[in-house]
Amino acid sequence: AAAPGKADEKKPPEQIKAAGVAAPGKADEKKPPEQTKAADAAAPGKADEKSAEPTKDPNLRYVKISDIQPLPGTYVKDAPRADYSDLIDSIKKSGLEKPVILRQAEKGGYQLVDGFHRCEALKQAGVSEIRADVYDMTIFDASRYRKEHRANPDLSIPGTLVPLYPDTPSVEGRGSEAPETEDPPLEDVKIPLTPVGQPETVTELKITNIRSFEGHPFNVKDDEDMKSLVDSVRQFGVLEPVMVIPHKDGGYEMVSGHRRMRACQLVGIESIPVIIRNLDRDEAIISMVDSNLKREKISPMEKARAYQMKTDAMRRKVGRRSNAEILNGEAKPLNADQELAKQVGESVATIQRFKTLNKLTPELQEMVDQGKIPVNTGADIAQMKPAEQNILADAIKREDKVPTGAKAKELKEASKAGTLTEDKINQTVAPTKRELEPELKVTFSNEELRSYFPDKSTTVGEVKRVVFESLTMRQKALERRAREAAEKGKAPPPAKTSPSKTR
């Protein structure tokens, strides 16, 4: 710990450079060795005085907190705390215990791997920058480290540390034993599938390389829910990767993530984090349906189409098993409706009713989705012939009335028996006598009548009598006005003459 001075001037350049990391500048050259040593321990340099950090590693950098984005491909479970005063006081007193860990994104910018609460604390303190280590690592390695390092603080950081200056050689990260890997490019290339039994790899694909799932039964609407999703994607990016499969004609086919992809298109994002799976068609259908049935809002017809697609796929997969496997007990026969009912928590009868809705004509299916036709009624109507359904749809629109459940069952049975006629269909939605001559019933509240009957001892009978007397007077006034109007516009009617007597 000798003080720098003339002795150092004679040192070779290499020794001076090495000493420069630990030795202070010219101001310290004039201090005695003891003062220099004490000063080194108390005040490393001006840069650290501003950040209140005890030391400053030359490999650390400062990054604007506003430039840091969430890491794609992971659920963000962190939530900002209401008060970071303790953490802020600790940082002011001792500085950051360790820098935040960032991943260098493919198109520039930074993605947060570790340090959420430190960033939030500094933002709450009004600080715009934070010390950070930036690593070149794959999304998969970053996601794995983010999930596992809290339980294992000594976990090695994967990848390599990005140098602070471009001409500085790369510094190996603490996880130097990990093989150096690169994220796949976004060009039109075939990305290797995740080997069976290995953790799934999250990568990124251009949205133009992904097509919608063939026969996708769920609607992607630009509604209020989509608006909320767009706002989230604009602010945080896509936090959960979508799932795709390779398409036979090239590119990829979306399995789960149509709404997230649509939100990216509305925001103007060109690429999206994906997990690529190697599934056959039936496996892809089952996976697609399962992922979408978790949505909060599903229309009856979306559910009907999804149930049909999944049970068909389940039956095809079972059908590919040999009879010998079934007979030997290696594979049991499958009741797809019963299995699906267990999975979604509904009865077999409910599953079958929803699937029957697929036999409705498009016009009637729309009425089911609008809530005009109940599911049970729709399931009975669906068993009528298409031509009969068209007649019924016209009658429903004309009368603005839907058959009751009992009437729908009658229509179904008559259709099966071959006795259903157009007249009978029309009668099921024709107005009833009560509808044509509705019962007239008027009810007044106590508050409405009290100003006219201030005496609280007034009986209901007295109120009725006064009301009817008033109505009678009103009726007579209307008749008198009608006569006056007639007399004013027309000559008075001729006087009646008595008939002549017969002689």
Residue among 255, 230, 237, 260 nearest 245 (CA): 255
Residues in CB range of 147: below 8 A, 6 or more apart: 74
What's the one-letter identity of residue 186? L
Tens-digit pLDDT profile for residues 340-361: 999 999 999 999 999 999 999 9
pLDDT at 77: 53
Mean pLDDT calculated for residue range 418-445:
81
Tokens of residue 258, six digits: 């149509």
Q: Is residue 393 pLDDT above 70, yes or no?
A: yes
Q: Minimum mean pLDDT among 179-193, 254-268, 319-333: which range?
A: 179-193
Does the pTM exceed 0.75?
A: no
Long-range contacts (CB closer than 8 Å, 24 or more residues apart) made by 417-421: 420/384, 420/388
Helix (H, G, I), strand (E, B) or coil at 112: strand
Name, of 22-26, 185-189, 447-451, the range with top average pLDDT: 447-451
pLDDT above 80 for 16: no
Burial-class residue 306 by CB neighbours within 10 Å (0-12, 13-18, 19+): buried
Q: Comparing 54-63, 181-190, 257-266, which segment has the lowest mean pLDDT?
A: 181-190
Higher pLDDT, 335 or 179: 335
Residues in the chain: 503
Residues of the chain with CATH 3.90.1530.30: 202-298
Q: Is the pLDDT of residue 88 over 90?
A: no
Residues 6+ apart with CB under 8 A from 12: none
Return the percentage of the chain with pLDDT > 90, whole number.
38
Burial group, residue 424, by CB count within 10 angstroms (0-12, 13-18, 19+): middle
Kind plus residue range of the DSSP H or E element containing 72: none
Q: How far is CA 445 from CA 195, 450, 451, in A?
A: 74, 9, 11
Q: What is the pLDDT of residues 282-317, one digit of tens each?
A: 999 999 999 989 887 899 999 999 999 999 999 988
Amino acid at 475: Q
Work out the average pLDDT over 51-75: 66
- The share of the chain scoring above pLDDT 70, in percent, equals 71
Q: What is the pLDDT of residue 19?
A: 38
Strand order in the sheet with 210-211: 202-206, 271-276, 242-246, 252-256, 210-211
Q: How many CB atoms lie within 10 A of CB 270?
A: 14
- Residues 142-154, mean pLDDT to the nearest whole number: 77
467-to-447, 449, 456, 463, 471 alpha-carbon distances in Å: 16, 11, 17, 6, 6
pLDDT band at 337 (very low <50, low <70, confident <90, very high): very high
Measured between alpha carbons, how far is 91 from 52 in angstroms, rounded to an integer? 8
Comma-separated ranges of CATH 3.90.1530.10 domains in the chain: 61-172
Q: Span 202-298: which CATH code?
A: 3.90.1530.30
Query: Of 228, 231, 188, 237, which is closest to residue 210 (Cα–Cα)?
Result: 188
Would you place residue 129 in the very low, low, confident or very high pLDDT band (cuts 50, 70, 90)?
Answer: confident
Least confident of 63-72, 170-179, 329-338, 482-491: 170-179
- What per-residue confidence (pLDDT) applies to 457? 87
Give 135's strand partners.
Answer: 103, 161
| pLDDT at 128 (0 to 100) | 86
Q: Return the CATH fold of 61-172.
A: 3.90.1530
Instruction: Using pLDDT thresholds of 50, 70 and 90, give the confidence band for residue 364.
Output: very high
Residue 266 has a pLDDT of 93
Q: Which two tokens stand for residue 133?
A: 């280590």
